[in-house]
Amino acid sequence: MDHQKRGEFSKALNVLYKVIMENGYKTLDVIALTVDIPERHLRRGEIGTILDLLTPGVWDVEFSDNLGRTYALASIHEDQMMHLFNEPAPEIASAY
Contacts of 82-90 with C-beta under 8 Å, sequence gap 24+, read: 82/31, 82/32, 82/34, 83/24, 83/25, 83/29, 83/30, 83/31, 84/30, 84/31, 84/32, 84/47, 86/30
In the predicted structure, residue 8 carries a pLDDT above the cut 80:
no
- What residues does each domain of the chain span? 22-93
Q: What is the pTM of this model?
A: 0.70
Instruction: Mention the CATH class of domain 22-93.
Output: mainly beta
List pLDDT tens digits, range 34-86.
999 999 999 999 999 999 999 989 999 999 999 999 999 999 999 999 999 88
